[in-house]
Structure 1
Amino acid sequence: MIFLFTDYGLQGPYIGQVETVLHQMVPNEKLILLMADAPRNNPKASAYLLSSLVSRIPEGSIVLSVVDPGVGSDEDKPVMLKIDGRWFVGADNGLFDLVARRAKEIEAYEVTWKPEILSNSFHGRDLYAPVCTMIANGYDVSSTAFEWKDIHKWPDDLNEIIYIDHFGNCMTGIRAESLDKQLVLRIDHQDIVNADTFSDVKEGKALWYENSNGLIEIAVNQGTAEETLQLKIGSHILLST
């Protein structure tokens, strides 16, 4: 299986072109759109989000991951990483840092293969998608092994909003297992307490809870946390007892 994790969005031709390349080269491989609206141009926030989704991806799968604001430059090398039995293909810009840090086994390769035609702005279609199909077909990909290093050294848990869904619920980069339920989240002098379900608080009141991917999420019962609390990706969260 090949999973797509990108910030391309569903509007426009981008996802469709990537899927077309994949289907042409591996027509019998199942393609799954894991996420098309990852935090735009934000590998850091996306790294925490991607890490929270990995456990449900079967071993042996390939994850084409593109959140690449530096596309077309020499800023970040193209890589393929085999992490706990799953392949991750994309730019080495921090997007894979949390997945790799939390892994038991990792093999890292810099991709040296280049297609005949390579757009400066669409490596997802021209470079990373073909590499994924080579892996899926069992072909050798021209590459150089290297020792992966956690260069960015981002925190294990990020006390920021990393994603806002269409309900206005706001995911953080904090793993729920790292927090005591008695802790209070504070945003702009407003205290938010834990609840197991939305209905545990009054309508219009905010709560925090463990979401289905194991991250701390902030919501408002029958409302939108994004608007009520004026949150955006990158908004900082304080923890207090």
Structure 2
Amino acid sequence: MAIITLTTDFGEKDPFAGAVKGAIYNEMPDMRIVDITHSISPFHIPEAAYIIKNAYKSFPEGTIHIIGVDAELTPENKHLALKLDGHFFICADNGIMSLLTSEINPEKIVEINIHDAIKTNFPVLDVFVSVACHIARGGTLEVVGKISETIKELHYLKAQANNDLTQITGHVIYIDNYGNVVTNISKSIFETIGKGRAFTIHARSLKISKIFTSYSQAIDFTVNKEQRFDDEGKKLAIFNTSDFIELAMYRSNPQTSGGASSLFGLTYLDTVTVTFK
């Protein structure tokens, strides 16, 4: 039996997430459903893209991922079903898959065309669930859509190097539960452009010239804890589990002392640059 995951901006208060699960169980009572999150910020496509990119690989191949973010059907926002990296994704063609397809080419893309047979004003509940259950039964993508070759690209999800390869310009694409700031500057572009050169990361007034591989690596544990006065709140940059540059504060708490986002004054789409020397 396949697994169906749900990633939405529905929140926990309203009935929408529960209704989608009920519709799946109504078609396939033994289906396994996993909530990745229903707490995506409303209509926040880069946030949803980042979360699904980081979550899907932990599931077995053949898993079906429903992404219910900005999913209303319009002439500019069609619906897609994709097979990519052995997984299936059902979502709107709003750029949400850009972060994944920039690294992995889809095996197949179809533009869903079963809407005439399903009258709905809640496509995640009706259309997406119908497509997901069709795939779970072993159905092919061509039955629910016509083959497509392209998806919508969101170019601001990609960091860019300047012409003389001395600087990478990126943006904040996600702020996590700890207030840490995730950029779209990948380890791959950093190493390709940097070639081992010294560098400085600039983000507003923040300047950092070293990148760690973990948060605790920034702490000198050879010094007695009582003498390490600046451990908590220490500014640092790491390559996170997605291999993106993340700006953080060691052991920060957004509810008390503040996290990197508030303390650095950074928010979604703010510019972050890496300048090489």
Normalised by the shorter chain, which TM-score bucket? 0.7 to 0.9
How far is 1:72 from its partner? 4.1
Task: Please give the per-residue CA displacement for 1:59-118, whole angstroms capped at 9, x wherever unaligned.
Answer: 2111111221x6143221111111132111111111112322322442111111125440
Q: Larger Rg: 1 or 2?
A: 2
How far is 1:228 from its partner? 0.7
TM-score by length of 1: 0.85
Total equivalences in the alignment: 238
Amino acid aligned to 1:208 = A
* 2:204 maps to which of 185, 188, 198: 188
* 1:226 maps to which of 261, 269, 273: 261
Is 1:211 matched up with 2:240?
A: yes
From the superposition, tell whether residues 151 and 179 of structure 1 become closer, same or farther in structure 2 (CA, over 3 Å). closer
In structure 1, list runs of 5 or more residues that go unmatched: none
Distance, in Å, in 1 between the alignment partners of 2:271 and 2:146 is: 39
Contact 2:84 2:107 in 1 (8 A): yes
Distance, in Å, in 2 between the alignment partners of 1:129 and 1:96 is: 19
How far is 1:151 from its partner? 4.6
Q: Which moved more, 1:134-143 or 1:149-158?
A: 149-158
Contact 1:26 1:137 in 2 (8 A): no
SS at match of 1:10: coil
Amino acid aligned to 1:123 = P
Corresponding residue number in structure 2 for 1:19: 21
Q: Which moved more, 1:2-11 or 1:35-44?
A: 35-44
* 1:30 maps to which of 9, 17, 32: 32
In structure 2, list runs of 5 or more residues that go unmatched: 161-169, 220-229, 253-258
TM-score by length of 2: 0.75
SS at match of 1:41: coil
Task: Please give the per-residue CA displacement for 1:173-225, whole angstroms capped at 9, x wherever unaligned.
Answer: 23234335854321112213423443425332211112223332221123211
Q: Which moved more, 1:74-83 or 1:93-102?
A: 93-102
Corresponding residue number in structure 1 for 2:102: 101
Distance, in Å, in 1 between the alignment partners of 2:154 and 2:184 is: 16
Pairwise CA RMSD: 2.5
Distance, in Å, in 2 between the alignment partners of 1:204 and 1:71 is: 42
Corresponding residue number in structure 2 for 1:160: 171
Contact 2:80 2:109 in 1 (8 A): yes
Corresponding residue number in structure 1 for 2:79: 78
Contact 2:64 2:87 in 1 (8 A): yes
Corresponding residue number in structure 2 for 1:124: 124
Distance, in Å, in 2 between the alignment partners of 1:89 and 1:40 is: 18
